Structure formats: structure tokens, C-alpha cells
Structure 1
Amino acid sequence: MTQDRPKGHISRSDILTRLLYRDALMLVIDKPAGLPVHPDAKGGETLADHLDALRFGLPRRPELAHRLDRDTSGCLVLGRHRKALERLSRLFADNKVSKTYWAVVVGGPEADAGAIMLALSPRDPAQGWRMQVDPAGLPALTRWQVLGRGGGLTWLALEPVTGRTHQLRVHCASMGWPILGDRVYGRGGAGQGLHLYARAVTVPLYPKRDPITVEAPAPAGMQETLAMLKGKEGHPSG
């Protein structure tokens, strides 16, 4: 199991220990929270700075097939060469890749499962990537299932059917149960990280083989909270 490193910094050895899956076409790594995948307005280190360490003998470094937010950790898919990246990008664009996130929210739904369908659009450009619910925006659908409850918190499995920026964070907040530690759309919390991570990804990469499913362990910042919640049978907290 990988361990969290200081936010915003990893070394060559760190990224190698975060490798979850590798074959001839695809890599899946456990991206740490606090590290952006691409340069942004804040500057500083990015995941792109470390991709050469993942060549494994190929002449070029792998490239990202999708993205995760700076504060979100977990499963991140990379294509090992141009043709692989093109295939993976098509699968993501066609919504054929299944993604499951685990989140701890403040409060929570009364039901045990459901879906959120609320269109999203950017707010004032001066606020950067901040998003809002907007009936005139792009359609966004999130399916959810309760995995545990306790102490005023709820542990959810979230499936973003669409892939809008900050979709899970905005959808949960709009329902009245913001993600724990969300300083943008929720109440935040001193010294408390965002309790959201990409738990699993399922990729139908090879037409004549079963889809590939890869899971990432819960980040250290969430493990204690998950341990306090009573998970349903079949949903361990690790």
C-alpha cells in the first residue's frame, strides 16, 4: 500500500511506489493529493515533471489520458505511447471508462442510493475553475451509494457518469451534504484535507479481454475517518 507524501512534492522513488498497474499500453498510478497534473496559475511542481520516471524503457514518457483535481488523490490513467493514448482518450470521451470515487460528506442523504442530475457551468472567470449549478449549463450526472454512516458523516461511493470540472464536489454540496474538508464548496476545516479520492477505475482497453479494474488505497488523511464509520458488508475501509 502506498503512503501519502507531503502535499505538493514527490520524488522519483515516490512516483514509482505509486504505480498501481502496468501493461504494454496503460499505466495507472495513485496520484497524491496536493499535486496538480498540469501547470496552473499557482505555479510550482506538477505531476508532469515526474512522468519520465515512468517510461520503463520506452523512448517517450507516458501521457495523461484524463485528469484529477489538485486536491484529489487516487487512480490516474496514463497512455504509454501515442496510439495507446488515442485509444484511452476515445474510451474516456465516449464514457466507456467507469470511475468510482469514495467521499466522506457532512450530513448525508436519507436514502441508501440514488442519482444527482444537475447541469453545471463555470462561475465568474475571476474565480478560476469554480463551478455552479446552472440549468443552462452542461448536463452532469452522478450516481451515489451509501457505504457507511456515523457521527454526522456519511461515506459515499460516487460514480461520475459525466466528467465535468468539480462535478462531485458541486453535486454533493448542492444536495446539502458537502464533502468533508472542501474549502471551496463546503465548510472546509482547519488542517483537514479534502475527503475525496478516485477509488477505482475500470477500463475496457482490450476488445477480446475482460475490462481492467484497478483500485487505489484510501489516502492516509481519510483512513481514520473511514475507520470511524460503520461500513456495510462487502465495503472495507482500506
Structure 2
Amino acid sequence: MASPAKPPLNEPTYLRVKRAIIGDLIGHGFQPGDHLTIEMLTSRYNVSHMPIREALRQLEGEGILVSIAHRGFRIEALNERYICNMYDIRIGIETMLARRAAQHVGGADVDRMRAIHDRYIAAVNAGDNSAVIGMNVQFHDVIHDLAHNPEAVQLLEVRTRIVRSVAQTVDAHVDQDRAPTVAEHARIIEALAAHDADGASQAIFDHLDKARDRLLVRVEKAGHLLGARVAETGANVG
């Protein structure tokens, strides 16, 4: 089982702030409907206005915050229902992309996926969580590219980016067993290698369905840990 993922030492300040805000949402330091201002967050996280502003801009783009004229930002719900809805979108789009990818995949593409899969396993075994995340993104990107539907990929990225941010935030606090993902990725590769559109679509569905459930368990665990931290310190700066 992998240890909690530590953020890179050179991580930009705005990303640390973004993770901190998400952590405060998960830990119930902030509640849906609360208003956030740059001044409030500057004091809470002890950083300058610029990274606060960029973090808020990104979270607004991901649908977690709504800009209110002259009042800062209002928090929308980041709860189990929201995460499930985002996964519904992801499953719908990615199963279609996998089906299309199975029609276009070539031998070199399969070799590339297997090489990425091997590097993913090596990163898991080395405890290199940054590489694990990177290899996972590359794995799914190969499938997306093979589908030749950039509009669907763009929609997928815009609507589900926040789920990736949530996963990276909770993984900094909660262990994750990567073995199921390794097995699920292997099944996806074999279906694509066989040009089995139905099999590839089903393999992606099963992978994302289980990934959602695993994330919800980690979010619940992280919520207890981060909630205790917020209660103790009054803030959650990653």
C-alpha cells in the first residue's frame, strides 16, 4: 500500500493554496454557501494576494466556487453527490472514447501503453507518488488521443479537473492501495490490444466505477483527519 503522497517541494504557492482550500472543504472548515474573500484567505493561509487570486480563479473554473460581485466567492457543494456526478460524466465520456480507441489502436500504441503501465508499476513500487500520478494521466491520455475526439476530451478535462484535485489532496493524507488500479489498467490494455470495443468500454467502466468508490472512502477518511486539524489549528495549509 502506498504511503500518503507528498506534494513536490517546488510546488507553486497557488497550488498549495488550492489544495488547502479543498482540504478545508473536505475537513468542513468551510461549508457550502460560505463566502470567501482574498483578504480572509490571505490571513488564513499567510500568503500574498496573487496566489490566492489564482487558486480562487481555478476553483471557480472547476465549479467549486461562484463569483459574487463585490463579495468574493460563494462555495458550492463539494460532497459525495458532486463527486459521483463528476464520475458519471467521466464514465459516460471515457467509455465512448475507449470504444473509439479500440477501432484505431495499433501495435505501437499498445506497446506505448504497456511501457507506461510498466513505469506506473515501477513508480508504485518505488513509492514515487508524483510519478504514479503522471503515469496515470499519460495512460488515460493515450486512450483519449486514439479516439480522435478532442472536443469530448476537452469537455472531460473541464468538467472533471476538480476530481483530480480532490484525489491529490486526500492522497496527501490517506494511504492508497494501487494494486486494483494496476490490474484494471492491464485489463484495459488487453481489450484495446484485441480491438475489442465492447471489452475496452466495459473495462473502463469497471475501472472508473471502482475508482470512484475508492476515492469516496479516502475522502471520508481524509475528512476526519483534516477536520481534526482544522479544529486544532483553525486552518489547513498544505
Same fold (TM over 0.5): no
Greater fraction of residues in helix: 2
Name the larger-Rg structure. Answer: 2
- What TM-score range do you get, normalising by the shorter chain? under 0.3
Normalization by structure 2: what TM-score? 0.26
Normalization by structure 1: what TM-score? 0.26
- Does 1 or 2 have the higher relative contact order (CA < 8 Å, sep 6+)? 2
